[in-house]
Amino acid sequence: MLTQIADNIYRKVVPLPNNPLREINAYIITGEKNLLIDTGFNRPECEEALRNAFDELGIEKTDVFITHLHSDHCGLVPKFAKEESIIYSGETDGELMNFEAGNLYWKILDDMFLKFGFPKAEFGRNTDIHPGRKYVHDCKIDFTYVAEGDVLEYGGYKLKAVETPGHTPGHMCLYDEEKKILFCGDHILGTITPNITIELSADNPLQDYLDSLAKVEKLDVKMLLTAHGTPVENMYDRIKELYKHHEDRLAEAVYILGDQWKTPYEVARDMTWEIECRNWEEFPAPQKWFATGEAISHLQYLYYSGKISREERNSIYYYHK
Ligand SMILES: [Zn+2]
């Protein structure tokens, strides 16, 4: 489905087959030169959907802006960027995107998860079917890096880059101050809570995320264009809900620790998840991975705030109230 959102701005809903997210919203800004914001996975269903949108709009060439490193956002860049296209991203995620096209990135991430208690026995299953690995772009991308405050002009809009680390270490939004439009990638989502997890170069991602929410809360936004799900009517209300969600999660993590030393994996197992499984053992493998990532980000936040302790035993982190 291709929908016009505002003058020269279109939203294309790109399917993400067999993925709990179901769809991604790619945005296309038309004009003298065009800009595509986020792409979909590197798989044929996504490519076809995006090609249809380009045909419908009569577009052949486009520049591309990638909000962050996840493969549902950047997987198709090499297929849509022509030689003369400019491909923008923040430097932190740009570097990671080019790193994640190789195996070393995943090896380092695996080692990090082992350190946070993810059992080796779960690994084969997880690493093989992790969608991030399967549908990532397969070559290096020649990015043009944008930094805080840089302005991109497309379709009559002046889009200012706003760094919003948290969901990923180099997540970036685009903001038109005059039109009060914010392209927010996965920083704020309406229907789900953005996944906050450990990443290479982000040791306390929840702190980063909460700081970035506070930063965006100060902007005057009338139209919030999210990368997944239906539009968010009121950004400020949604931000309040997200604060509350993380407050509750932090309290839950402390409660689950009780008076024992536990790994993030063990805490994740006991947290409440909105997923239709009878128990942890039934969780699909990638969901265990995401859940553990969430537990890590909350425990690390508590640890760095001085509210809980952390100890390393046999190369694995344990946390205690
Ligand atoms: Zn994402």
What is the residue-wise DSSP string for 297-308?
HHHHHHHHTTSS
- Domains of the chain in start order, with CATH, are 2-248 (3.60.15.10)
Query: 53: CA distance to ligand 1 center in Å?
Result: 22
- Give the whole-angstrom CA distance, residue 131 versus residue 18: 10
The Å distance, Cα 69 to ligand 1 centre, comes to: 7
From ligand 1's centre to the CA of 194, what distance in Å?
A: 7
pLDDT of residue 132: 64
pLDDT at 251: 97
> Do residues 95 and 173 make contact, with C-beta atoms less than 8 angstroms apart?
no
pLDDT over threshold 90, residue 312: yes
The CA 117 to ligand 1 mean position distance, Å, reads 23
Q: Which residue has the higher pLDDT, 277 or 246?
A: 246
* Rounded distance from Cα 168 to ligand 1 centre (Å): 7
Residue type (1 letter), 167? H
Query: Distance from the CA of 48 to the center of ligand 1, in angstroms?
Result: 21
pLDDT of residue 125: 55
pLDDT in tens, 182-224: 999 999 999 899 999 988 888 999 999 999 999 999 999 999 9
Query: What pLDDT, on the 0 to 100 scale, is given for residue 306?
Result: 97
Question: What is the 67 CA–ligand 1 centroid distance (Å)?
Answer: 9
Choice among 28-32, 46-50, 255-259, 271-275 with the minimum mean pLDDT: 271-275
**pLDDT, tens only, 19-58:** 888 899 999 999 999 999 999 998 999 999 999 999 999 9
The residue with greater pLDDT, 147 or 106, is 147
pLDDT at 135: 65
Ligand 1: centre distance to CA 70 (Å): 5
List pLDDT tens digits, range 144-175.
Answer: 999 999 999 999 999 999 999 999 999 999 99
For residue 37, report the distance from its CA to the centre of ligand 1, in Å: 13
291 pLDDT more than 90: yes
- CA of 307 relative to ligand 1 center, distance in Å: 28
Q: How far apart are CA 228 and CA 276, in angstroms?
A: 21
Distance 255 CA to ligand 1 centre (A): 28
CA of 178 to the centre of ligand 1 (A): 27
Structure tokens at 19: 């993925």
Q: Which residues of 29-54 are buried (b: 16+ CB within 10 A; e: fewer)?
A: bbeeebbbbbbbbbbeebbebbeebb
β-bridge pairing 157-163 and 172-176: antiparallel
* pLDDT exceeds cutoff 60 at 225: yes
Q: How far is the CA of 118 from the centre of ligand 1 (A)?
A: 21
244: left (phi over 0), alpha (psi -120 to 50) or beta: alpha
Assess whether pLDDT exceeds 60 at residue 90: yes
Q: Is the pLDDT of residue 139 over 80?
A: no
- In sign, the C-alpha dihedral spanning 310, 215, 197, 127 is negative
Query: What SS3 class is residue 288?
Result: helix
- Tell me which of 89-103, 191-205, 252-266 is least confident: 89-103
Q: Tell me the torsion sign for CA atoms 203, 204, 206, 208.
A: negative
Burial class (CB in 10 A: 0-12, 13-18, 19+), 9: buried
Q: Which pLDDT band holds residue 273 (cuts at 50, 70, 90)?
A: confident
Ligand 1 center to 11 CA (angstroms): 17
167 Cα: distance to centroid of ligand 1 (angstroms): 7
Q: Distance from the CA of 66 to the center of ligand 1, in angstroms? A: 11
- Residue position matching structure tokens 């946070």: 116
Residue 97: CA count within 13 A, CB half-sphere: 34
Percent of the chain with pLDDT over 70: 95
**β partners of residue 223:** 181
Over range 71-95, report the average pLDDT: 91
User: From ligand 1's centre to the CA of 2, what distance in Å?
Assistant: 21
Q: Phi-psi bin for 59: left (phi > 0), alpha (psi -120 to 50), beta? A: beta
